[in-house]
Structure formats: C-alpha cells, structure tokens
Structure 1
Amino acid sequence: MHAAVVHSFDAAPKFEKFDMPNPVNKHDVLVDVLAAGLHPRVRSQANGSHYASTGELPLIPGIDGVGRLQDGGLVYFVAPDTALGTFADKAVIDVRRSVPLPEGADPVRIAAAMNPAMSAWVALRRRAEWQPGYKVLVHGATGNSGHMAVQIAKLLGAGQVIGAGRDQQRLDALPALGAYRVVSLAGDPEAASERLGEAACEVDIVIDYLWGKPAELAMTAMLTRRSDRSRALTWIQIGSVAGPTAAVPSAALRSANFKLLGSGQGSVTPAGYLAEFPALIDAIASGSLRVNAAAYPLARVEEIWAAPAAAGERVVFVPAMHT
C-alpha cells in the first residue's frame, strides 16, 4: 500500500510504499481509508512532541479517519495506539473504537470536523456539570477548535457564548456562529485581560484553548469582577497554544467557587468518548455545525505539510484522490 511515513521527527512525512498492516486481535479489521484529517494533534504526533509519543519510528501519522469496511459500510474510527496511523490507503482498526456513519454523511466533512469538535463537545458533556442556559467563554475562539466550541456551546443550549481571541477577522465571524459577544485579546496582555474581565466575569464555564499567561491574567480579571464569588466558575483547560504552564493565583482558589480541571486524552475514558461520537457525528452530518474542509490527495502530503494552512480550514487527506 501507499502511506505517509515519518522517518525522522525533524522532517515532514514522505509518501511512499509501506507494508500492508495485518489484523492481529479478534476485534481488528482492515479498512480502506477514505479520509483522514491533518489535526494539530497529528502534527505533534509526527514531530514526537505529544505527551503520548513513544518515540517509535518509522510511523504513519494520523489519529482518526473515515473508513470503508469489507461489507461496504462506512465508519468513523479512532486509530489504535500504535505507530500505524490513518495516513495510508488502508488501516487496521479496532471495531470497538468505531461507529457507523449515517447514510449520506460526507467522509471529508466528518474527518475534518470530529477532532476539533470533540474537545468542546466532550468537555461540556463529560467534564462539566452542564446546564442549559449557562454562559460560556471560549478562551481562544479564533482557531478551528475554538470556532467549533462556540457552535457546540450554543447547540447544547448555552444562554450566552462569548468568544475571545487575537485574530480580528476570525472574531468578526463568530456572531454568525452563535457568539453573543466577542473580545479581542490583541495588544497589551494586561489591557486584554481587563477587557475580558469586564465582558466575561459572569460566565459559568470557560473552555480554554490558550492557557499560559493569558489564562493566568484572565482568571484574576474575571474573578475579581464577579458579582457573586460563591457562584461556581468552572475553567476547563483543553489546549495550551499560549504556553504549557500558568501560575494559578492562590487567591483564585480561596476567595471564589473556582473549579479548575482539564479535558483530554486520559481525563475521559475511551468508552466515554465513544459514547459521544454518534450524537456529534449527527450534528456534523446534518449541517448543525459548520465545517470548512479542504481535501487533498495523500500523495501531496509532503507539500501540504509544509504549506501554511488557510485560516479556518481543516486539511483532509484522501488516499483515493489523484489530482
């Protein structure tokens, strides 16, 4: 078969021939890969920087995808925890980590949207004590996952969604996706945190894709303006675009009903993720969540890997495409 293969963590994957994988366990099956998304998580897998990396080389990147079973049925699947990922003509999947797609679902849309949408969906459904009507701040709303988070919070019944980020053009697009208000984080960090504190001090939940200094400043700015500090504020840490660490003010934990938790691989069981897949797939397939997918032949992986992605676009590799 052909696959995108990583031989060095310092170089882009190369499209080349690779031995066909074989099912080993009783729940394993071989599928034709129809579409697989180039997510940030895939890039960290391919450069060895992700916390789950084993350092094993060579590896085929790709953490999820849409595949065709031998009976012709289509499934969305999460790749097994091996060095043989989804950027290939074929992949071995554990059927227990897959769900059937509804009839008419577009494999490219599903492959593009599931990973960026899953973070906020699972955070709100599995990590937070969610109630319809809650006010939500998406901290880092201008990335793909942030745009999805705004839509998902609204879809799940949020009373208000506030989006904060640095990219003004992407911020301007958020009201059409369900944002009640947007806050620019551009410019001086202290001034940005003050703007955010004024706008978002009464939210119930923060979905944080930034972390680092912006989160550190925002916590204080929001909590000190809160009208009732005994009312719970749940801060869900998902991404760390602005830095891997943040100095959480001790006063934030003592002087307010402030809950800080994370959502990601390990904090939710595989079974928990799997249980959420069907409803999320239905939301994507039905058009309830907007997706900006760009499909490319897998043969162009080395070229596309190095090219800057268009804002808001999620690259999807399609092995069967030739042009």
Structure 2
Amino acid sequence: MSPTLPTHSREVRLAAVPDGLPEARHFALAESPLPALQEGEVLVRNRYFAVFPGLRTLIGGEVDGVPLPRLHAGDTLFGPAVGEVLAGALPPGTLVSHHAGWREYAVLPAGSCAPLDPALPEPVAQLSMGEAGYGALTRLAEVRPGDTVLVTGAAGGVGSLAGQVARLLGAGRVIGSTGSAAKADRLTAELGYDAVLLRDAAEPFGAQLARAAPDGIDVLVDTVGGEQLAAAVQAGRAGARFALVGALSGQFAADRAGGSSPVLLDSFRIVVNGISLRGYRGTEHPGVAAEWTARFGGWLRSGEITFPHAVLPGIGRAPGALRELIDGRQVGAVVVEL
C-alpha cells in the first residue's frame, strides 16, 4: 500500500521588509498547498536547510551583481537544503541537495536536485560553507608551507573550516578573528587556531594583529572587511595574497541595505609590498565543488577536520535563525533541522 503523501507544507515567508537588520518579527510561518506532482518532478521532504548570510542582502534589496533574486514581502525564503525524495522522477528514499530550503516539503524539477555525494559521511555536511574558504585558499591565495594565515570571521560558517584547511594545506601559523572571548577559546582549543583576535576589544585590532604576527601575514581569507581588512593590509608581507570571500562588516551593518561595505585601504602599502587582493567567486572556479567534497569527506572520515555547526530544531526556530546568525550567537554553520 502506497504511503499517503502530504498535500500542504509549512514555509517561512518574509512578512515585511525591515528598516535595518531583520528580526524574527519580520518573518512568518505559513501553510501552503503543494502543487500536483508533474512528470519530471519530485516531492522532497526537507531534513535540513542552511541559514546563509546572503539572505540579508536579498532582503535589503541591494542585489546589483548578486546572482540571486531580491526577496519581497510575502516571498518564501530559499537556500541550500538536504531532503528525502518521497515520490516522483527519482526513487523514493533518495537523499538530495537543492535550493528550496525554508519549507518542510517542496515539489521540484528532478534536474534541480543532486543526489548526495557518498564521499560525505553525514547528510548535514552537504550544507557546509567550507567550499568558499577552500577555493580561496587553493585558487587565489595558494597557501605555501610555513605561511602565516589570517582568517577574519573565524567562527563563521566559512572561517570555522578555513583555519583548519589552511593548517592541512601547510600553513605554519593560523590566526583568526571573532567577536567574543568564548568563541576565541573554542577556536584555539578545537579548531586549530594559534591565536584569535577580538573585534571591538579595548586594544585596537591592528595592534592585536601586530602582536600575533610580528613578522606580518602571507595570506588573508577575509569574510569581514572593514577595519580588519585595513589592518591586514598594514600587516601584509611582500607578496602577500589576500582572498576576499565576504564583507560582513558592511553586509550586517544596521545602517546599510546589505550590498555595500566601504573601507579605506592604504594603497601605498599594497603597492610597495606587492599585495594581491582578489574577490572569490565560486562560479569562476567550477572544479572546486567536487574537489572540496572529496577532500572534505576524506578529512572528516580521518578525523583531520571537524564540521562545526549549530542545529536549530524545528521550523518554529527558523524565523529567528537569520538574526541568530547576524548576531554571531553560534559557531560554524547555522542549520535548521526539520
């Protein structure tokens, strides 16, 4: 006897466009009927979905150059998800990844779903944000044995893995930055960082960096921008390679709309030290995804790397999940489990 398939799904919608940073009250849980399954489609029950920082930009509306659509009031949120096929063009029980997160069930074209790669030992690892950090370290910064590496936003989804990856690629010293002493302790105790600098500490960030890296830095993986990027320029050694992955200092600023992050940099220092600064765009490096998945899976299985992530149980936690990410309440990726 065939199981009864769901006819409705709960989903998270943008209830109102915020004037400033989004809060839980700007989102709403709603129930919608599922469309009839058509040929070539699948019905997926989501197990996990990731909360990604770019939602702030899509909600704020500054999406020029961003390869994702703006979110308007009434729209259902979306993002990376892992789910199980219940019916349709793929065998029931198949675990797949797709981009229709923020809902319990989704009807999707089978071609938009990718069966999970068996290289990863657990489904939730598919929602890691480590690919960007890995790509930055291997394609732009090209870490060399003995390099001193700085990772800003080291407790985030990218940074919590980038420091570990830098070490595995041969870095001699790995320095991070974060917003609290508790997270700094975890980064040094569990995630391979030699030193961690604190944002908004009494000691200026540049002074902290000079003390942690008295001979300067060779590589930067930057997810923050702002004063941390400016300080990194001052600390850059001759030939330093800077890979810019994000700009959260501007993206998460309450007085901005999520799509700008201005900063004053010392161009003289960049020139005389021959520092390279490049933004990392995953679309320009199509081979990184498969390479990262294979190496990440191997490192997870061998115990050489850990995947820090916070699991928020139930779709009821989802309306506040983005604000938890913005406020830096978690270490690693933020995932809602259904």
Q: Is the contact made by 2:149 and 2:220 (CA closer than 8 Å) also made in structure 1?
A: yes
Query: For residues 210 and 69 of structure 2, what CA distance do their matches in structure 1 show?
Result: 40
TM-score by length of 2: 0.74
Indicate yes or no: 2:232 matched with 1:218: yes
CA distance in 1, matches of 2:217, 2:113: 35
Contact 2:44–2:107 (CA under 8 A) maintained in structure 1: yes
CA contact (8 A) 1:5 1:15 kept: yes
Alpha-carbon distance, 1:263 to partner: 1.3
TM-score in terms of structure 1 length: 0.77
Distance 1:24 1:133 in 2: 56
Query: Displacement of 1:22 after TM fit?
Result: 7.6
Match of 2:278, SS state, is strand
* Structure 1 gap ranges (5+): 80-84
1:75 alignment partner, one of 84, 96, 104: 96
**Residue 68 and residue 178 in structure 1: after superposition, are their counterparts in 2 closer, same or farther (change >3 A)?**
same
Q: CA deviation at 1:196?
A: 0.8
Residue matched to 1:128: 141
Per the TM alignment, residue 251 of structure 1 is displaced from its structure 2 partner at its CA by 0.8
**Alignment check: 8 A CA contact 2:220 2:232 kept:** no
Contact 2:230 2:264 in 1 (8 A): yes
Change (3 A) 1:296 1:236: same
Distance 1:86 1:17, change over 3 A: same
Supply the AA of the counterpart residue of 2:160.
Answer: H
Alpha-carbon shift at residue 311 of structure 1 (Å): 3.1
Are the counterparts in 2 of residues 30 and 90 from structure 1 also a CA contact under 8 Å? yes
Contact 1:67/1:74, CA 8 A, preserved across alignment: yes
Aligned counterparts of 2:62 and 2:38: Cα–Cα separation in 1: 28
Change (3 A) 1:127 1:67: farther
RMSD: 3.3
Number of residues of Structure 1 aligned to a counterpart in Structure 2: 300
Does structure 1 residue 17 correspond to structure 2 residue 17?
Answer: no
CA distance in 2: counterparts of 1:215 and 1:299, whole angstroms: 37
Corresponding residue number in structure 2 for 1:236: 243
How is 1:150-161 mapped onto 2 (pairs within 5 angstroms)?
150-161=163-174
2:188 corresponds, among 156, 175, 184, to 175
2:52 is matched with which residue: 28, 39, 58? 39
1:297 to 1:170, Cα distance in 2 relative to 1, 3 A: same
* Cα deviation, residue 269, structure 1: 4.4
Q: Is the 8 A contact 2:145 2:170 kept in 1?
A: yes
Which residue of structure 2 aligns with residue 277 of structure 1? 293
Q: Which runs of 4+ in 1 moved over 6 A?
A: 22-26
Alpha-carbon separation, structure 2, partners of 1:23 and 1:157: 50
8 Å CA contact retained: 1:110, 1:281? no
Structure 2, gaps ≥5 residues long: 1-7, 19-24, 251-260
Q: Percent identity?
A: 22
